[in-house]
Amino acid sequence: MLKIFSFRSLAITTHFADRLFLASQNKAPVCVGIDPVFEKMPAKLRDQTDPNCAAEVIALFEEFTINVLQAAANHAACVKFQSACFERYHHLGVDLLQRMLKLANEMGLITINDAKRGDIGISAAHYGAGCLGRTHYSDLGTHPGADSLTCNAYLGEDSLQPLLDVAAKEGKGLFALVRTSNPGGDTIQNLVLAEGHTVCQAVATMIAELGEQSIGDCGYSHLGAVVGATQPDQAVNLRVLMPRQIFLVPGFGAQGGGPEDVKACFNDDHFGAIITASRSVIYAYQTDPNKNWAQAIDDAAEDLSQQIQSILKG
């Protein structure tokens, strides 16, 4: 049974799940994904930028991302940065990612570094410290690191434990891949094991057990699970297997997932899931070239929030 508790206790909490719960109650349990791709940038910005000059592309991305953050801050609990979109520009991109993570925190947003880290032993610990740990700079002050990190659960328990140790120490969270939204995931994740369970169900059981290490006052673990919106029938079973996990739910919008597809990801307390949309929000201006691009993003973020709030009220 999930516990009910007051917002006053949440206001001073350091547990990741509790902070995400509060942010979701204040706005909506939705996440805006930030996946900047040069070719998809607003024409007004793109036409002024040399695509072969990394510094110019990064300057464009910065202006674009700040506007996305402003829209997200109005309507969403959190933002998810696709690390690959920044890493491809090497140190300039990584520097921008870190600055935008910090800015998002300052704007009151919970941050997810969608880097899907996965390794074992000391390497996993380094990934955890690099993505989640606080770093002190003599000239820049303290960088808080991301509030949470996506990670690959398919290397097994010993690949997750070092990340969990860092997350617990820093008051951060993890979202482990369990059931992904890409069609090719069926090839492995739907395989039936000798015990009768599928591979993704076995991974879900492992995540639920590991997640018991740290449960917040809201009744949820700091170890969540990535469960795609494009697999609504499987979400029902996975919700039973992982009652204390917060589901990060990709695949909404551009990948085909709709409001009815994500209902099963929520618990009876109207929490337990964060619905994330990227392309349908940040590139919303592509459907109406005559509309101001920043306003189109804000409107799409508001629409995402309203869609999810409507299914929770229904």
Give the C-alpha separation, 69 to 31, whole Å. Answer: 11
The pLDDT of residue 8: 42
Give the C-alpha separation, 114 to 111, whole Å. Answer: 9
pTM, two decimals, is 0.94
The pLDDT of residue 127: 97
Give the C-alpha separation, 304 to 213, whole Å. Answer: 33
The pLDDT of residue 13: 61
Looking at residue 47, its amino acid is: D
The pLDDT of residue 135: 86
pLDDT digits (tens, 9 = 90+) for 15-49: 999 999 999 999 999 999 999 999 999 999 999 99
Of the candidate CATH numbers 3.20.20.70, 3.40.50.300, 3.30.110.60, 3.90.70.10, the domain formed by 7-313 belongs to: 3.20.20.70
Helices (H), 191-313: 199-211, 232-241, 259-262, 279-282, 293-313
For 155-199, give the DSSP string: G-HHHHHHHHHHHHHHT-EEEEEEE-SSGGGHHHHTPBPTTS-BH
The pLDDT of residue 239: 96
Give the C-alpha separation, 282 to 300, whole Å. Answer: 8
pLDDT confidence bin for 3, thresholds 50/70/90: very low
**Is residue 18 exposed (0-12), middle (13-18) or buried (19+ Cβ within 10 Å)?**
buried
Q: Compute the average pLDDT of residues 61-68.
A: 98
- Residue 116 a catalytic site member: yes
Give the C-alpha separation, 78 to 26, whole Å. Answer: 11
Taking residue 207's Cβ as centre, other Cβ atoms within 10 Å add up to: 27
Residue tagged active-site, from 116, 169, 172, 291: 116
pLDDT confidence bin for 89, thresholds 50/70/90: very high
Give the C-alpha separation, 171 to 167, whole Å. Answer: 6
pLDDT confidence bin for 241, thresholds 50/70/90: very high
The pLDDT of residue 140: 62
Q: Compute the average pLDDT of residues 11-18.
A: 78
Q: Is the pLDDT of residue 2 over 60?
A: no
Q: Is the pLDDT of residue 139 over 70?
A: no
The pLDDT of residue 142: 82
